[in-house]
C-alpha cells in the first residue's frame, strides 16, 4: 500500500504547528526550568534542540559538573497512543537495563501530559549518552542530499563494517535472551519484576491509513492476501511448514520494530555506547527474532531501484558478514558461560529463515505498506501452488478465491463496497487520534479562528 497523503498532510500540519509552539521563547524557557527542577542540578550552561525526529522532539541540557540530560516529547499528530507508548517504553528501558548488558539511557523522570511543563505532552527525561556519532552516519553513503533515501556506503572499510555488525549482533543476541511467556508490552510491577500486561503496540499500529485501495478489485486482492496469510497460521498443515511446534507457545523474546542503526550511538572506535527509542518494543513470536535484520544494507527492498531480486543479492553478501559476527557473539557467550554449547544457535536460525524464505513472511507480517507485493511475489506460490502462466499481479487473487471460506468471501464483497464508497468520498475516515492530539487540534482551531476574526 502507498502512504496516506491526506492523513499525512493533516498529521504534518499538526506536528509542525506544535513544534513551532515548543520553540516559542516562553515555552522553551519553561521546559528548561522544568528540567532543572527534576534533574536537581544548578550548573547548566547550554540548552538546545537535540533531535526532531518522525515521532518525537528531544531537547538537551548540558551541565558543567553533572551528567547532561534530555527531555523528549512525542509529536501530536505523528504519534498515536502517546501515553501508552511512553509507559511501555519506560518499562522496556528499565527491563533491558536491569536484565541485559545492552547500554540504554537511564530514566530520570517521566509522566503524562498533565504533569508536563505547561501541560505540553507526555514526556521522558533521561541521562544523555556520550557518543562520537550515530551509527547511521557511519554506515550511510556520505554527501547525498538530505531528501534522498540512505544507502550503505560502498566504500566503508571491511573492518569498520565488521565492528558495527558485531555490535549490533551483540544487541540482538542479548535481546533474544530476554523473553516472557506471553506476547505483549511490558509493565513494571516493582523494581525487579516485569510482566506482559498490555497489548503489543507496534510501529504499524501507529501509521495512518485512509485511501488504502485504488478500486474495488484492488480491495478484493488485498483482502484475499490477508486472509491467505491468516490461513498460514490457522491451517495446521501449512503452519507446520514454517513454524516449529516447540516455539508455538513461547517463550517470546522482546522485539523492537524500530531497532536500527539510526537509533544506535557509537564512540570513535565504533563501539556501541547507547541504544535508544524503545517505544515500539514488545514480546513477539520468536520467528521475528529468527529473521535476520532488514537494515543490513539500510534500504528496504520495496524502495530498491533494481528490484527485489537485486536487493536480495546485495543483502546476501552483507548477511554472511553479519552471521559471522553473530557466531562470534555466540562463541564469546559460550566462553563466558552465558550460553550452553548445545543450545539452539541464533545464527543458525537466521540462516535458515533466509534460505527457507521465512524471512519474507516475517517482513510481510510486520510491514503493512510492503505487505501486498511481498505476499504475491514471495509467499503465495510457496504455500498455495503454481499459478497460470504470467498472470498480472493485480489479477492473481482471482485464482485464489477458492481457497477462502464462504464467510471470508462474503466479508470481502461486503467490505469492498464500503471501502469503495470511502475512497470516492475522498475524506479522512476512521482516524481516531489520541486525546492529546485532539486537544491540540482544538487549540489550533481556536487560534485560527482568532486570526481570521
Q: What is the pLDDT of residues 32-91, one digit of tens each?
A: 999 988 876 678 888 998 877 778 999 999 988 888 999 999 988 778 889 999 999 999
Q: Which residue has the higher pLDDT, 266 or 210?
A: 266
pLDDT of res. 76 = 83
> Percentage of the chain surpassing pLDDT 90?
65
Q: How far is CA 22 from CA 56, 74, 76, 121, 170, in A?
A: 12, 12, 12, 10, 37
In whole angstroms, how far apart are CA 439 and each of 1, 58, 112, 123?
Answer: 30, 21, 14, 16
Give which of 355, 350, 357 is closest to 329, Cα–Cα. Answer: 350
Based on the fold, state whether residues 82 and 137 are members of the same structural domain: no
The residue-averaged pLDDT of 262-288 equals 97
Nearest-angstrom CA–CA distance, 389 and 235? 27
Q: Note the pLDDT tens digit of each residue in 182-204.
A: 999 999 999 999 999 999 999 98
User: Where do runs of H (alpha helix) occur along 336-434?
Assistant: 346-356, 358-366, 371-374, 380-384, 406-425
pLDDT computed for residue 54 by the predictor:
79
Q: How confident is the model at residue 322 (pLDDT cuts 50, 70, 90)?
A: very high
* pLDDT value at residue 2: 47
Cβ 129 vs Cβ 274: under 8 Å: yes
Given a cut of 60, is residue 429 above it in pLDDT? no
Q: Which of 346, 380, 409 is the last residue of a domain?
A: 346
Regarding whether 292 and 312 lie in a shared domain, the answer is: yes
In a domain, 361, yes or no: no
Phi/psi for 152 (5° steps) reads -65, 135
Mean per-residue pLDDT of the chain: 88
- Mean pLDDT score, 162-182: 98
Residue 239: domain span? 212-244+370-437
Q: What is the pLDDT of residue 447?
A: 47
Domain assignment present for residue 186? The answer is no
Q: Is residue 448 part of a domain?
A: no
In a domain, 316, yes or no: yes
Grid cell 514471495 is found at 378
Burial class (CB in 10 A: 0-12, 13-18, 19+), 369: middle
What pLDDT, on a 0 to 100 scale, did the predictor assign at position 388?
77
Q: Which residues contact 187 (CB under 8 A, 6 or more apart)?
A: 87, 91, 194, 195, 196, 197, 198
For residues 451 and 185, which has the higher predicted lDDT (pLDDT)? Answer: 185
Q: From 112, 128, 144, give the residue that closes a domain.
A: 128
Residue 426 has pLDDT above 70, yes or no: no
Read off the pLDDT band of 17 (50, 70, 90). Answer: confident
Does the pLDDT value for residue 334 go beyond 60? Answer: yes
The burial of 350, by beta-carbon neighbours within 10 Å (0-12 exposed, 13-18 middle, 19 or more buried), is given as buried
Amino acid at each position: 500500500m502507498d502512504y496516506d497523503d491526506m492523513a499525512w498532510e493533516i498529521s504534518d500540519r499538526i506536528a509542525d504547528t506544535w513544534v513551532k509552539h515548543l520553540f516559542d521563547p516562553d515555552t522553551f524557557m519553561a521546559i528548561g526550568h522544568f528540567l532543572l527542577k527534576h534533574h536537581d542540578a544548578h550548573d547548566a550552561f547550554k540548552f538546545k534542540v537535540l533531535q526532531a525526529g518522525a515521532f518525537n522532539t528531544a531537547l538537551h541540557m548540558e551541565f558543567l559538573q553533572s551528567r547532561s540530560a534530555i527531555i523528549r516529547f512525542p509529536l501530536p499528530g505523528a504519534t498515536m497512543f502517546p501515553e501508552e507508548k511512553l509507559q511501555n517504553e519506560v518499562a522496556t528501558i528499565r527491563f533491558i537495563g536491569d536484565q541485559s548488558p545492552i547500554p540504554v539511557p537511564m530514566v530520570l523522570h517521566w509522566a503524562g501530559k498533565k504533569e508536563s511543563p505547561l501541560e505540553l505532552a507526555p514526556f521522558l527525561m533521561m541521562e544523555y549518552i556520550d557518543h562520537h556519532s550515530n551509527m547511521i552516519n557511519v554506515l550511510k553513503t556520505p554527501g547525498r542530499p538530505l531528501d534522498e533515501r540512505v544507502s550503505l556506503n560502498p566504500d566503508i572499510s571491511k573492518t569498520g563494517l565488521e565492528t558495527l555488525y558485531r555490535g549490533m549482533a551483540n544487541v540482538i543476541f542479548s535481546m533474544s535472551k530476554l523473553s516472557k511467556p506471553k506476547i505483549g508490552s511490558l509493565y513494571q510491577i516493582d523494581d525487579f519484576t516485569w510482566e506482559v500486561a498490555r497489548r503489543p503496540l507496534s510501529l504499524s499500529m501507529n501509521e495512518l491509513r485512509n485511501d488504502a485501495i485504488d478500486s474495488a478489485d484492488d480491495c478484493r486482492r488485498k483482502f484475499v492476501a490477508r486472509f491467505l496469510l491468516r490461513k498460514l497460521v490457522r491451517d495446521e498443515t501449512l503452519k507446520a511448514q514454517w513454524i516449529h511446534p516447540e516455539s508455538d507457545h513461547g517463550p517470546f523474546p522482546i522485539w523492537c520494530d524500530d531497532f536500527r542503526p539510526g537509533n544506535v550511538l557509537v564512540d570513535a572506535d565504533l563501539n556501541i555506547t547507547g541504544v535508544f527509542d524503545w517505544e515500539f518494543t514488545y514480546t513477539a513470536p520468536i520467528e521475528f527474532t529468527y529473521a535476520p535484520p532488514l537494515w543490513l544494507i539500510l534500504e528496504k527492498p520495496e524502495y530498491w531501484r533494481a528490484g527485489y531480486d537485486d536487493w536480495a543479492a546485495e543483502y546476501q553478501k552483507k548477511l554472511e558478514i553479519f552471521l559471522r559476527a553473530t557466531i562470534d557473539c555466540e562463541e564469546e557467550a559460550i566462553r563466558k558461560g552465558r550460553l550452553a554449547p548445545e543450545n539452539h544457535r541464533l545464527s543458525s536460525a537466521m540462516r535458515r529463515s533466509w534460505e527457507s524464505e521465512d524471512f519474507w513472511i516475517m517482513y510481510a507480517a510486520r510491514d503493512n505498506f510492503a505487505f501486498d507485493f511481498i505476499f504475491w511475489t514471495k509467499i503465495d506460490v510457496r504455500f498455495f501452488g503454481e499459478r497460470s502462466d504470467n498472470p498480472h499481479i493485480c489479477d492473481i487473487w482471482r485464482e485464489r478465491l477458492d481457497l477462502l471460506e464462504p464467510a471470508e468471501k462474503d466479508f470481502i464483497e461486503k467490505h469492498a463496497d464500503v471501502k469503495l464508497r470511502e475512497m470516492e468520498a475522498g475524506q479522512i475516515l476512521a482516524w481516531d487520534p489520541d486525546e492529546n492530539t485532539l486537544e491540540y487540534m482544538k487549540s489550533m482551531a481556536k487560534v485560527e479562528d482568532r486570526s481570521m476574526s
